[in-house]
Structure 1
C-alpha cells in the first residue's frame, strides 16, 4: 500500500519546473520513495551501509543536504534506533503533499506578483537524521520529511507546517544575505545579522502564505515584547547566538529562536512604514547591511505592531476591454 502511495505521489508531484507564472511548484519525492523502499525491505532496520548507499545514490539535493548538515548513514541508523516512530509517522505527511503543493503554488504566485525577480527552484523532500526541517541552497529548497512531520511544536497542523516552512525557505532563496550566510563562529554571524536573515524570511512567509514558519513565537512573547527586545539590543552585536538563534532543544517546551521573532518584527516594521510596498519588499530581499536596515526600519523595542498577518496589495483591476 505504501509503495502504491509513493508511486502515485511521484506521478502527481513531479511536474514541470516553476517559472514566474507557472501553476505548480516542482516538488520532488524520489528520495523519499527510495528511502521507504529500503526501510520496508529491511523491516524498519536498514543498515549503516545501506543508508550510506541511499545517500550516495540520491539526488543532488539529498547529497547537498547531507553534506551541509552532516547527515550520514550512521547518523540515520542511530536515529532510527532511537526513534523508530518518527520514521513510521512521517508516512502520514506524504499523504498531505498534494494539498501542500496546491497551497504552496498559491503562495508562490503571490511572491511572483509582489517580486517579479523571484527565483523558483524546485523543492526536494528527503529523509534524513531527524534534523534540520529544511535548508536552502542554490539548487533549491530541501525539506526533511521526518523532521518537519514531527515538528508539531511549530504548527500543530502538519499541512500548515509544510506550507509555511516551505514559504519561509523560498524567502531565503531570494535573500542576498542568505546566499552568503556566515556559519556559527564566523565574526560576521552576529545576533543581529542572523536574526534579520531568519526574521525577514518569517515575514515574507507570512506575507505570501498567511503565517510565519514557527507559530509558537506569538504566544511565548505576548506581554514580554519590550523585555525581550531590550535584551536583544544589548546582544545584537555579539556572536553568541544561544537564546536567540538555532537553540531549540528537543523535548523542551522552553521558548527558542527568539531572534527569528525579533527579526520578523523589524522586517514587518520596515515594510509597514514604507510608502512603496513593492520597493520595500525588494529592499528586504536585498538587505546586506544589518545595522543600516535596523535604523531604516523604524523599529523600537516593544513597539506595537499589528498581530494579524499583513495582506499583500491586491492585483490591479482589469481595465476596460
Structure 2
C-alpha cells in the first residue's frame, strides 16, 4: 500500500476509546524520544539502540503500529541507512505539533456537534520506517511523522497537512467502531474502499476545512468524466491497484479517494437532513445502496 493512508482491521472498541471526552489524547512523546536517541547517536543510531531505547519504552500507540506494520528498530535502521534525509528533514514538522493539537481539538468539537455519536480514541504521532503515513483502527490513530512530513504533493503547509490528515483519520475511527464489518472487509471492491476513503476525505473537510489529499482535485480537473467513467467500469473489481494505495512519497496516486469523496459529497448535498446524512456516511454498510441514493453520476457538477 506504499505511502498512502491505510486502514487496518478494527480492534475492540474497549481499547482506549472514549465517548465522553471532548477530545482525544494526542501522544507525541515518541517523536521526542526518537530524536533524543537519534541526536545522541549523531544521526546514526543502530538497530539495537532504536529497539531498546526507542521502540521498547515507547507508547502503546507505537507498539500497536509496530504490531500492525512491522515497525522495529531494525526496519527503522534500514530505512534510515537508505534515506537519511527522511529523518533529518522531519525535524521541521516537530515544531507544528502544539498547534496541530489545538486545531484538532476544535475540529473534533465540530465532529461531535455534527455527529453526536462520535467516539474518540487516542492519537499517536511517532517515528516509523518511512511508511505508512497513517494507520487507523478502533483503538486509535497512528501517524508516522517522518512519512507525513515527506509527502510532497499533500498540503504544502505542514501544520494544515497534519490537521487535515488527522481529521481524515478520525472519520476512519468512527467507521471502524460503528460499521466494523464494512470497514474491515479483507477483500473490498473498488467502490467500497473508495467510499470508505472518500467518506473520510469528505468528513475531514467538513470538520477541519480541508481534505488530506489536496492534489487530487487539481489532477482531475477537466478530466472528471473520463476518470469517473473508468471508475464505473472498475467499481466491482477487488484489485484496488489502479485506484487506491498506489502512491509513493513522490508519486501521487489514489484517485479512488477523489471519486469516493465526490460520491459522498453528492449524497450529502442532496440530503435534506444533513445530520442524518453524515450519520449515513460514517455508518455506511452497503456501498451499492449508498451509491444509488447519492445522485452521483460520472462528471456530475458539485458546488
TM-score, structure 1 normalization: 0.84
> Residues 152 and 111 (structure 1 numbering): CA distance in 2 closer, same or farther, change over 3 Å?
same
Displacement of 1:296 in angstroms is 0.9
1:182 and 1:274 mapped to 2: Cα distance? Answer: 27
Q: Does 1:265 align with 2:262?
A: yes
2:82 and 2:241 mapped to 1: Cα distance? Answer: 26
The equivalent of 1:80 in structure 2 is 80
Kindly provide the CA deviation profile for residues 295-319 of structure 1, in whole angstroms up to 9, marking residues without a partner as x: 111110110012xxxxxxxxxxxxx
1:170 and 1:179 mapped to 2: Cα distance? Answer: 18
Q: Does 1:26 align with 2:25?
A: yes
Displacement of 1:286 in angstroms is 0.9
Kindly provide the CA deviation profile for residues 107-136 of structure 1, in whole angstroms up to 9, marking residues without a partner as x: 111101001110111211110011111111
Kindly provide the CA deviation profile for residues 163-195 of structure 1, in whole angstroms up to 9, marking residues without a partner as x: 000000001011144675347xx4x32111110
Aligned residue runs from structure 1 range 144-163, under 5 A: 144-163=144-163
Displacement of 1:55 in angstroms is 2.0
> Contact conserved, 2:115 with 2:278, CA < 8 A, in 1?
yes
> Residues 178 and 249 (structure 1 numbering): CA distance in 2 closer, same or farther, change over 3 Å?
farther
The equivalent of 1:312 in structure 2 is none
Displacement of 1:293 in angstroms is 0.7
2:102 and 2:273 mapped to 1: Cα distance? Answer: 30
Aligned counterpart in structure 2 of residue 300 of structure 1, from 294, 297, 300: 297
The equivalent of 1:190 in structure 2 is 189
Unaligned runs of 5+ in 2: 1-16
> Contact conserved, 1:20 with 1:109, CA < 8 A, in 2?
no
The equivalent of 1:47 in structure 2 is 46
Q: Does 1:67 align with 2:64?
A: no
Displacement of 1:229 in angstroms is 0.5
2:183 and 2:49 mapped to 1: Cα distance? Answer: 33
TM-score, structure 2 normalization: 0.89
2:296 and 2:180 mapped to 1: Cα distance? Answer: 22
> Contact conserved, 1:18 with 1:26, CA < 8 A, in 2?
no
Kindly provide the CA deviation profile for residues 142-167 of structure 1, in whole angstroms up to 9, marking residues without a partner as x: 11111111113111110110000000
> Contact conserved, 1:229 with 1:262, CA < 8 A, in 2?
yes
Aligned counterpart in structure 1 of residue 278 of structure 2, from 259, 281, 302: 281
1:102 and 1:132 mapped to 2: Cα distance? Answer: 24
Question: What RMSD over aligned residues (CA atoms) do the two structures have, in Å?
Answer: 1.8
Displacement of 1:249 in angstroms is 3.0
The equivalent of 1:114 in structure 2 is 114
> Contact conserved, 1:244 with 1:256, CA < 8 A, in 2?
yes
Which protein has the larger Cα radius of gyration, Structure 1 or Structure 2? 1
Q: Does 1:224 align with 2:226?
A: no
> Residues 78 and 156 (structure 1 numbering): CA distance in 2 closer, same or farther, change over 3 Å?
same
1:179 and 1:260 mapped to 2: Cα distance? Answer: 20
> Residues 69 and 80 (structure 1 numbering): CA distance in 2 closer, same or farther, change over 3 Å?
same
2:84 and 2:136 mapped to 1: Cα distance? Answer: 27
1:78 and 1:66 mapped to 2: Cα distance? Answer: 15
Aligned residue runs from structure 1 range 91-102, under 5 A: 91-102=91-102
Higher relative contact order (CA 8 A, sep 6+): 2
Displacement of 1:80 in angstroms is 0.8
Superposed structure 1 runs of 4+ greater than 4 Å apart: 17-21, 177-180
Kindly provide the CA deviation profile for residues 87-118 of structure 1, in whole angstroms up to 9, marking residues without a partner as x: 11212111111111121111111101001110
Aligned residues: 284
Displacement of 1:26 in angstroms is 2.2
1:108 and 1:35 mapped to 2: Cα distance? Answer: 28
1:194 and 1:235 mapped to 2: Cα distance? Answer: 12
* SS of equivalent residue, structure 2 residue 183: coil
